[in-house]
Structure 1
Amino acid sequence: MPTLYHAPNSRSTSILHLIEEMGVADRIDVVDVTVARQDGSGGPDARNPHPEKKVPYLTDGDDYVRERGSIVAYLTDMFPEAGLGRPVGHPQRGQFLSWLFYYQGVMEPVLVLDWAKIDHSALHATFRDLNAVVACLANALENQPYLLGEDYSAVDLLLSSPFQWLPDATPQQPSIQAWITRCANRSALTTVMERDRAGLRV
């Protein structure tokens, strides 16, 4: 059985959300671990096999997966019947993977750099800037409710996740705000957030 190493109220909560959305909570073991927090609390957990003691981290037998975009791709491929991914051969497979890699390689670094007030032309040339990220999202959502069209998918879950934690970072574009609201109103997200706050695991 795959095992997810998770720290409550962290980036790994989005992977719990994915598991809940897919309806496969009984097919994935979840181990809660501690991690070092920005406020100085927590710390590395010896139970966590991640080489840097970070989360999320997924193990599957002798194999492992790190980084959220990779874990999303792995799990949606493992459970294609859930309909949140785009399996090999699907006409949107390329778009699906592109959004996952865009989040990991561009969007999250830009959001962190903006939050930290770090500004340099080399960073803009490499990662773009926040305006470019907002424009990319707004363009994709101009005439459709979700990033891949009419149906919610795992890319919506991942790319909307920062705004669930940092609502002040929400762009002002109405199409993006409406998309974030649609993604935030998922019952699976509410369930996972309540469990995380209560420290419960099913």
Structure 2
Amino acid sequence: MPDYTLYCAPDTYAMGAHAVLEEAGADYAVHWVHLFSDNPDPDFLAASPHCRTPALKGPDGTVFETGAVALYVAEGHPKAGLVIPPGDPRRGTFLQWFHYLASTLQPDVIIQYHPEFYHSEPDRQAALKAASMQRLKGVYQTLERALEGGPFFFGSQPTVPDYILALQTVWDVIFPEGDITAYPNISRHRAAICARPAVQRIRAAHEAEYTRRRQAPASK
């Protein structure tokens, strides 16, 4: 029996945590779930009270939220080198970017996909997305400067924030005009993370599950 079970939906924010599990060499299984279901998987619901992915079941119980899952796994597998540890002078910067991605980048990314979470009227949804994209431009400028020495936040060694960032920037729709190339450092960062074998494996798994769902016959 694997040490961990990752509750995951394909091609979602959960890919960042999934990549950390794979990169860390953790013993895990993926339990694919459906989001926005009227009848959520009871085990998934027990692990994630808002039915959002990812959630993780492990030897210490359950953990939900991408950042929490990724950091929990990375700290449990220190040999993978995915964390700047306490005592390292870079620790504060590590925590800064870790929380920045969750509290500043991710909320506006969600708005680009799900403005209906906030407004039911189409015109207000469009206005919200436009305002969100304006905020995202400032976020990308900040990240572009942070990655100047790259390819990763801390030079040549990727850490948890790199996976959390790159597995969002794979979605071109979150950039102005749907084009990442206006941000060469972020583009280089994405390419470097996506070239890693562990990331290629998890992206292939997500694509396979996404394709399987698209091809599955509709239930009656």
Q: TM-score, normalised by structure 2?
A: 0.74
> Structure 1 residues 46 and 169, CA, compared in 2 at 3 Å: closer, same or farther?
farther
> Structure 1 residues 96 and 34, CA, compared in 2 at 3 Å: closer, same or farther?
same
8 A contact 1:144–1:150 mirrored in 2? yes
Q: How many equivalent residue pairs?
A: 190
Q: CA RMSD in A?
A: 2.8
Quick one: which of 85, 90, 104 aligns to 2:83? 85
Please state whether the residue corresponding to 2:84 is helix, strand or coil.
Answer: coil
8 A contact 1:34–1:42 mirrored in 2? no
What letter matches 1:47 in structure 2? D
Residue 145 in structure 1 maps to residue 151 in structure 2 = yes
Residue 45 in structure 1 maps to residue 38 in structure 2 = no
Q: Percent identity?
A: 27
Segment drifting more, 163-172 vs 141-150? 163-172
Alignment of structure 1 residues 150-169 onto 2, 5 Å: 150-166=156-172, 168=178
> Structure 1 residues 12 and 113, CA, compared in 2 at 3 Å: closer, same or farther?
closer
Quick one: which of 4, 20, 32 aligns to 2:6? 4
More helix by share: 2
Please state whether the residue corresponding to 2:166 is helix, strand or coil.
Answer: helix
What letter matches 2:154 in structure 1? L
Distance 1:173 1:198 in 2: 29
Quick one: which of 62, 65, 77 aligns to 1:64? 62
Shift of 1:62: 5.5
Quick one: which of 121, 134, 137 aligns to 1:131? 137
Segment drifting more, 75-84 vs 12-21? 12-21
Unaligned runs of 5+ in 1: none
Shift of 1:156: 0.9
Please state whether the residue corresponding to 1:47 is helix, strand or coil.
Answer: helix
> Structure 1 residues 156 and 32, CA, compared in 2 at 3 Å: closer, same or farther?
same
Residue 96 in structure 1 maps to residue 76 in structure 2 = no
Please state whether the residue corresponding to 1:8 is helix, strand or coil.
Answer: coil
Shift of 1:31: 4.3
Please state whether the residue corresponding to 1:65 is helix, strand or coil.
Answer: strand
Residue 32 in structure 1 maps to residue 10 in structure 2 = no
What letter matches 1:150 in structure 2? S
Partner of 1:183: 193
8 A contact 1:34–1:43 mirrored in 2? no
8 A contact 1:35–1:42 mirrored in 2? no
Distance 1:23 1:44 in 2: 29
Per-residue deviation, residues 142-177 of structure 1 (Å, max 9, x unmatched): 233211223222211111111213363525122221
Unaligned runs of 5+ in 2: 116-125, 210-220
